Structures are given as C-alpha cells and as structure tokens.
C-alpha cells in the first residue's frame, strides 16, 4: 500500500534538504514537486523560490506509449525502455520486469490528475515558466532546457529593492516576504531563521548565540547585526535585492543597521487588530505524529482521532502573544518616525490583496512629504 505524506511534512523535508551545504553551494533541481497548488503555496510560504520553471509537454498518446515500454531491472533498480533504451546484454534482458502502475488505464488516470493540477500550479510562477516539447530527441530537449536555465531574468522591479517588513507577530510578514521573493527574485531574509541557522552550523557566531537561546533571552543587537551583515553582503543579496523581516525591532536596532549602510528603500508596516492575531495564532495546532499543521477554524483536522492528539506551541498561548504584541507596539512609534516614508497597510485582509498593495508601494514612486 502506497501512503501519501501530508503536504506540510513533505514540504518541511524538502526545506531541510535544500538548506544543506551542497544545495546552497551548487544549486538544486526539483522534480515531482509541487504536484498541487497547495504544495506550491506552502513551498512559497517557506521561502523556496526557483529561478526557472520548465514544463515538459507531450500529447497523452505519446506519454502513454512511452510509459508502456518501461522495464525495470529488479537487481539494480535501473530503468530501461523497449524502444529507446534496451540493454544489449541478454542476461539483463531476461530478468527485466514490468513495473507496477504503468498500464494504459492507470497512466491515463495519472495524466488526467496532472492536467487538473498543472493549470492551478503554473500561475504561482508568473514570468519564469518555459514550456518545452518533450516529443523530440532527448538531446534537443536537454539543450533547450539548458539554454533557458542559463538565462538571467530581468526583475520586474524598477530598481534593486531592499524591502523591510514590520509588524507584530502573526501579521503575515513571512507570507508576504515569500511572495515578494518569488515574484521579484529577492532574497528572503528572516532574521530569526538566520540566527537558528548560525547556531546549527556551529559557526563562531553560533557559539555566541547559543547561550542566549539556551536561556531563552534576547540576543544582543550587535551579535544579530554581525550575522545579518554576513548574509546581506553575499552576492545574491547585493545583485538581486532583499526582503527583510524580524529585524529591526526598535529604533536603536534601526540606527545600528542604518549606520552600517543597510538602508531599506521600501518599508511597510502591516497593521492587524489584536483580536485577529489572537484568532490566527491561538488556534494553530500541530499533529505530533505526522507533523501536519492545522488551524481549528480555517483548516480543522479531518477526524476526531487527529484532533485529540493535536498540540499547541507554548508560544501560541494568548498570554505569550499579548506580551509580544505589546513589545512591538511599544517600539513601533519610534520605528515609524525613523522610517519617515514608510507605508502602513491593513494586514487584516486576504494575503494576496495585501501583496497587491505592497507591490504598488514598490513599483510607484515614494510619496513626497508636504512641508
């Protein structure tokens, strides 16, 4: 019996793999994911942004015929084809078997499911999709794909964006950062995530951070700035621009960042009422068995059995959220004053509506202050 991993668990596993050194250093190719629009949106939310998306297209009749010719070597796992890649050795030929799930009917059903999903996935990757006809020699397909991935997309942004998103916990900064990274090719820089990665890498900064994490106390601003500087100085941030969230959290941190030359050219404050944030966060739950995340109002668990075992993160308690919101709003007035041309948005809307407002704030000229 084939079981399907929950989307969130699958995407989290993908995220962990892409953070490993070889993927960061050499790049990566995704194959077979996302299979649905939900997976595509989850991937974007976690900040995984491909630079090129290639769709290999061929008539269903051709694909069914190709699938019917597959054979597998049970000893090595190597896949062969009766027409295109038949092994010359008779010993291998004699032990090849027909893999499960490739009958004409099964293949047709899988293609139907693919066609239903692909039309909903592609709008998630505007202007970076290339459709290549797969019904031609493999060498031709390869060189067309290679030519495409070697191109550098021109950003839609009229300048190199350095975007800062400010807002209380639960205001949707992570989602908006992921959407901006996806559409404009910006580097998604979450300061909290940077600190966790530095500690996990056991770097010199990680050793400085660890005692504060262990005691659950705030990491000093100068330490955060060292880690942040290391990331913002990397070539991708310099060339493509960045979208930063979770720092600065007060005027002193903003002054520190500014003094070191890291000046955002667009700043957005996402305002969300207290009641809405409480609703968003206190009702979040995690299934400890599968890792799947639920929301008791917007995404309830499908069975009572799952609901009974759900756990709440202690940070999602109403008391903890209230403390974090109060801390943000104590400092927000001074942050507003420091970033005098910041744009304030109503974050208590559909995420894609909020994104449209942020886009207009990036593309349009900054408003001039009236003396």
Residue 82 has pLDDT above 80, yes or no: yes
- Residue 90 phi/psi, 5-degree rounding, is -65, -30
Q: Pairing between strand 284-286 and 266-271?
A: unpaired
Domain positions in the chain are 162-363
Give, as one character, the DSSP assignment of residue 99. P
Q: What is the mean pLDDT of the chain?
A: 87
CB 13 within 8 A of CB 142: no
Angstrom distance (rounded) from CA 289 to CA 152: 42
pLDDT digits (tens, 9 = 90+) for 95-137: 999 988 888 999 999 999 999 999 888 888 877 889 999 888 8
Does pTM surpass 0.95? no
By CB neighbour count within 10 A (0-12 exposed, 13-18 middle, 19+ buried), where does 154 fall? exposed
CB 132 within 8 A of CB 145: yes
Q: What is the CATH number of domain 162-363?
A: 3.40.50.300
Q: What is the mean pLDDT of residues 178-203?
A: 86
């Amino acid at each position: 019996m084939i079981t399907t991993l929950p989307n969130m668990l699958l995407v989290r596993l993908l995220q962990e793999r892409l953070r490993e050194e070889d993927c960061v250093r050499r790049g990566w190719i995704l194959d077979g994911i996302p299979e649905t629009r939900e997976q595509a949106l989850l991937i974007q939310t976690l900040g995984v942004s491909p630079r090129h998306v290639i769709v290999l297209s061929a008539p269903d009749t051709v694909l069914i015929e190709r699938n019917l010719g597959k054979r597998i070597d049970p000893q090595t796992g190597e896949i062969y084809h009766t027409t295109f890649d038949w092994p010359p050795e008779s010993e291998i030929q004699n032990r090849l078997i027909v893999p499960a799930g490739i009958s004409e009917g099964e293949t047709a059903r899988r293609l139907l499911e693919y066609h239903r999903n692909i039309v909903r996935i592609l709008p998630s990757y505007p202007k970076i999709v290339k459709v290549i006809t797969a019904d031609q020699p493999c060498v031709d397909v390869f060189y067309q794909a290679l030519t495409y991935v070697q191109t550098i997309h021109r950003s839609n942004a009229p300048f190199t964006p350095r975007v800062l998103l400010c807002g209380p916990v639960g205001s949707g900064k992570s989602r908006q950062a992921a959407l901006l990274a996806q559409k404009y090719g910006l580097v998604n820089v979450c300061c909290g995530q940077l600190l966790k990665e530095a500690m996990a890498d056991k770097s010199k900064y990680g050793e400085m951070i660890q005692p504060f994490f262990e005691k659950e106390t705030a990491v000093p601003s100068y330490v955060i700035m060292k880690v942040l500087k290391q990331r913002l100085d990397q070539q991708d941030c310099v060339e493509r621009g960045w979208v930063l969230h979770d720092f600065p959290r007060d005027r002193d941190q903003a002054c520190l960042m500014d003094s070191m030359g890291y000046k955002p050219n667009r700043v957005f404050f996402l305002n969300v009422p207290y009641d809405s944030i409480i609703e968003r966060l206190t009702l979040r739950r995690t299934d400890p068995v599968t890792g799947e995340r639920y929301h008791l109002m917007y995404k309830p668990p499908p069975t009572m059995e799952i609901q009974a075992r759900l756990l709440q993160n202690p940070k999602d308690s109403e008391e903890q959220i209230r403390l974090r919101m109060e801390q943000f709003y104590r400092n927000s007035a001074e942050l507003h004053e420091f970033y005098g041309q910041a744009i304030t948005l109503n974050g208590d809307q559909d995420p894609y509506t909020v994104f449209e407002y942020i886009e207009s704030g990036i593309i349009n000229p900054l408003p001039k202050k009236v003396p």
